[in-house]
Amino acid sequence: MLIDYIQAALNHAKYEILEEDKAFYGEIPECNGVYAQSDSLEECRAEIEEVLEEWVLFRIHKNLDLPVIDGKEIVIKETV
């Protein structure tokens, strides 16, 4: 479930080359605050995956909603 969710989110990543320093910038628009910047596209992809994993775990820890992405959903259930 978690791997499927992360993969679906990574499939939505958008990348561009920044004009001022030719660095690669990537973001996942559906996941507010998930972005990365590196000297190469490969490094940028690796960094955005790491940021996404931390973002998901933080939101789970804080019991915050996660967006549904391509039908993939992580629902936090409260246990008593």
Closest residue by Cα to residue 48 from 24, 64, 66: 24
Report CA torsion sign: 7, 9, 12, 17: negative
Alpha-carbon Rg of the chain, whole angstroms? 14
Domain limits for position 54 = 2-61
CATH code assigned at 43: 3.30.160.250
What are 33-75's pLDDT values in tens digits? 999 999 999 999 999 999 999 999 999 999 899 999 999 999 8
- Asked whether residue 7 is assigned to any structural domain, the reply reads yes
77 within domain boundaries? no
One-letter amino acid identity for 54?
E
Q: Which two tokens stand for residue 65?
A: 């909603």
Buried/exposed 29-43: b ≥16 CB within 10 Å, e otherwise: eebeebbbebeeeee
pLDDT at site 55: 98
What is the pTM for the complete model shown?
0.91
Provide the number of structural domains found in the chain: 1
